[in-house]
Structure 1
Amino acid sequence: MFSFGRRSATCEFCNVSSEKGFNVIYEDSNFLAFTDIRPAARVHVQVVPRKHIESVHSLKKEDVALLRSMRAIGNKILDDHNVNFAMRKMGFHIPPFNSVNHLHLHVQALPYSPSYKAIKYPISRGHGSHKKGLSWFAEIVQAIEILENDRSINFLPC
């Protein structure tokens, strides 16, 4: 169904499991989700593909289905937590502003924790032909639209 890279023995997110200390809350044959070890919001989960994909820079137009599946999993998790749609935030940090080099979707229920700064997850709306402005974070909807237009996701407007 999806074209994935190979699993990496050294990638932390290629080796996610409960036995390795992760709080896995969802898994299927292609994806798994686990709670963030430093949650920034009331609910903060990472949704990752089982196979290694370096980052959003690696994604192409043919990966839109992958992102839609990740978004569906994120929405299911937020539905299970009774999170209102207005309080949902899902997106990706853009390298070099990511902490792990394995594609991971941040799934969050706002508001952010008082001790956490929302500045780490800025939304920058695009203008004109740009779906995203200058920002190190791309919302899932922005990422899908950028890829559908056969463009690359990066820090600059795209």
Structure 2
Amino acid sequence: MDRPGSADCVFCRVSVENGFDIVWEDGNFTVFRDYNPSAVHHFQVIPKKHVENVKVLRKDDVELVKTMGAIGHRALDSLNVPIAARRLGFHVPPYNSVGHLHLHVQALPYKSAARRWKYPVIEGSRSNCKGFSWFISLEQTVDILDRGAKVTVFPC
């Protein structure tokens, strides 16, 4: 499938032929298993359209993020993962490994303490506000974008 985006972006070339374990896709999104999972179930949800990262998102992108979250929750629903055992979120650049927006969808617990530290969700001073962290939850992302602000490593 021809995907819009950068020719050197590995996530713009997601396919079974390129070694990805795709578990679901439609015309706009793909879900695949993480190649180095931090939890028993660890998926990536990506838009097929190239979006650089969570820092470029704006208020107009709230529905994109919510749709990615709904897809991630459906993947975990299919595995009967309880809501309390889920973590969905994004790494904030420069702490991301691929320059293509990807939502981490995980069924906790993590495989090790070291893995857990890669995904710290730090609460800010108010509900769904983010503290100083290189990882941001789905809910925090929606809240920040919905207020017209940008996602950064620093607290909102």
Give a deviation string over 1:23-42, Cα, whole Å, max 9, x none.
00010111001000000001
Q: What CA distance in whole angstroms lies between the structure 2 residues aligned with 1:97 and 1:69?
A: 23
From 15, 19, 22, the counterpart of 1:21: 19
Give the TM-score normalised by the residue count of structure 1. Answer: 0.94
Give matches, 1:2-13, under 5 Å: 6-13=4-11
- 1:1-158 aligned within 5 A: 6-114=4-112, 116-128=114-126, 131-158=129-156
Counterpart CA distance in 2 for 1:75 and 1:128 is 25
* Structure 2 residues without counterparts, runs of 5 or longer: none
Residue identity over aligned pairs, in percent, reads 49
Per-residue Cα deviation, 1:86-108 (whole angstroms, up to 9, x for no partner)? 00000000000000000000000
1:117 CA displacement: 2.5
What are structure 1's unaligned runs of at least 5 residues? 1-5
What TM-score does the superposition give when structure 2 sets the normalisation length?
0.95
Contact 2:128 2:143 in 1 (8 A): no
Instruction: Output the CA distance in 1 between the equivalents of 2:63 and 2:20.
Output: 26
Larger mean CA deviation between 119-128 and 134-143 belongs to: 119-128
> CA RMSD for the aligned pairs?
1.6
Structure 1 stretches (4+) deviating beyond 2 angstroms? Answer: 114-117
- For 1:128 and 1:81, the matched residues in 2 are separated by 32
